[in-house]
Amino acid sequence: MTYPTPILPLKLEDISFEAGGKRLIKDLNCTFDSEPRSVIIGPNGAGKSLFLKICHGLISPHTGHVRWNDANEKSVRLNQAMMLQRPVMLRRSVSANIHYPLKLRKIPKSERNTLVEDALTQAGIARLRDHPARVLSIGEQQKLALARVWALKPQVLFLDEPTASLDPAATHAVEEIIRAIHAQGTKIIMTTHDLAQAKRIADEILFMFRGRLLERNPAASFFEKPENDLAQAFVKGELLWWRLGKTNRRNTDKQTNT
C-alpha cells in the first residue's frame, strides 16, 4: 500500500524517561523504517512497554526527541495505532466497536460498512458481530482490537505483548492477523517476552535490558548468535538477575545506537 504522506521513518534521539527518581529509559537512539517487523524483547521491567508508549506519544520523554517523517501532528496521530495487552472496548456491539473510529474519521457509511465486514471476516469474528464487545473472551477481544486496526489501515501498529494472556490456539490466530496486517502494508513494532513468538514474527530484534537498547540485529543472526552477552544469556533462557555483578553491570552501559 502507498500512503500520501509517509509518517515513517520514526527517529528516537537521545530519549530518556524518569519516574520515582529513577531513570527507566536511558539514552535511547534508534530509527524505524517502514518494512521490517521490529520486535522488542527483554526481561520483565526492561522498559519495553515504556519504549512503545514513548514512540506512540502516550508518555513524553524527559530528554530527547521523537521525530516522525511527517511534520503534520494530526496526520501522525491518525496514521498510527497501539494495541495494549488488555484492549479497551466500548460498551457496544462488536461491529459498532469497529464502526466507531471510522465514523470519527468521517468515513462515509457505505464505505464504512465494507471496511467493517472485511475486518470482521479477516479477524475471524464475523459470527460475533452483534455480541456486546465487553462479554467477549480475552482472545476474542484481541481479535476485535486487531479488526479495528485492520479497518483503519494505519501506517504503523504498536503491539504491547499482544498474546500475553492467550492460549496457544488464540495466540496462533492473533499472530496470523498480525501477519495479514503487515502484509497489507502496516509497519509492525511489537514487544514480547516470548522468544518463540519473537522467532515466528520478527524480521529484526531489539534487545532491551534495564532501560537500555543493548542490541539490534536481523532476527536470523540475532537468534543464531546474539552479540551482546546479556542477550546471549536471555536467549539461552538464563535469568539475568544473577549476572548483575560489577563486571556485567558495565556491559549494560555499552548501548547500541541504531
Ligand X SMILES: Nc1ncnc2c1ncn2[C@@H]1O[C@H](COP(=O)(O)OP(=O)(O)O)[C@@H](O)[C@H]1O
Residue number, 49 or 142, with CB nearest to Mg ion: 49
Q: Which of 8, 39, 50, 119 binds ligand X (CB under 6 A)?
A: 50
What one-character DSSP code corresponds to residue 91?
S
Partner that binds at residue 210, options ligand X, Mg ion, none, CB closer than 5 to 8 Å by kind:
none
Element (H, E) at 144: helix 138-152
Partner that binds at residue 42, options ligand X, Mg ion, none, CB closer than 5 to 8 Å by kind:
ligand X
Is 141 a binding residue for ligand X by CB under 6 A? The answer is no
Q: Judging by DSSP bridges, how do beta strands 156-160 and 80-83 pair with one another?
A: parallel
Is 163 a binding residue for Mg ion by CB under 5 A? The answer is no
Degrees to nearest 5, angle at CA 162 with 198 and 37: 45
Is 192 a binding residue for ligand X by CB under 6 A? The answer is no
Q: Which of 3, 6, 16, 24 binds ligand X (CB under 6 A)?
A: 24
Partner that binds at residue 156, options ligand X, Mg ion, none, CB closer than 5 to 8 Å by kind:
none
Is 44 a binding residue for ligand X by CB under 6 A? The answer is yes
Q: Which of 45, 67, 184, 218 binds ligand X (CB under 6 A)?
A: 45
Is 47 a binding residue for ligand X by CB under 6 A? The answer is yes
Listing from the earlier edge strand, what are the strands of the sheet with 80-83?
Answer: 80-83, 156-160, 187-191, 38-41, 204-209, 212-218
Partner that binds at residue 45, options ligand X, Mg ion, none, CB closer than 5 to 8 Å by kind:
ligand X
Is 42 a binding residue for ligand X by CB under 6 A? The answer is yes
For 33, residues 6+ apart whose C-beta sits below 8 A from its C-beta are 8, 9, 187
In 3D space, the residue among 141, 131, 199, 196 whose CA is nearest the CA of residue 173 turns out to be: 141
Of 97-136, binders to ligand X (CB under 6 A) are: none
Residue number, 38 or 155, with CB nearest to ligand X: 38
Distance CA 194, CA 157 (A): 19
Contact 8, 156 (CB under 8 A): yes
Partner that binds at residue 44, options Mg ion, ligand X, none, CB closer than 5 to 8 Å by kind:
ligand X
Distance CA 107, CA 103 (A): 6
Of 27-86, binders to Mg ion (CB under 5 A) are: 48-49
Q: How far is the CB of 39 from ligand X (least distance, A)?
A: 13
In 3D space, the residue among 121, 86, 79, 126 whose CA is nearest the CA of residue 101 turns out to be: 79
Residue number, 85 or 256, with CB nearest to Mg ion: 85
Partner that binds at residue 50, options Mg ion, ligand X, none, CB closer than 5 to 8 Å by kind:
ligand X
Q: Which residues pair with 66 in a beta bridge?
A: 12
Q: Residue 76 carries which side chain, given as an amino acid letter?
A: V
Q: Judging by DSSP bridges, how do beta strands 10-19 and 22-32 pair with one another?
A: antiparallel
Contact 252, 231 (CB under 8 A): no
Is 46 a binding residue for ligand X by CB under 6 A? The answer is yes
Binding site for ligand X (CB under 6 A): 19-20, 24, 42, 44-50
**Residues at the interface with Mg ion (CB under 5 A):** 48-49
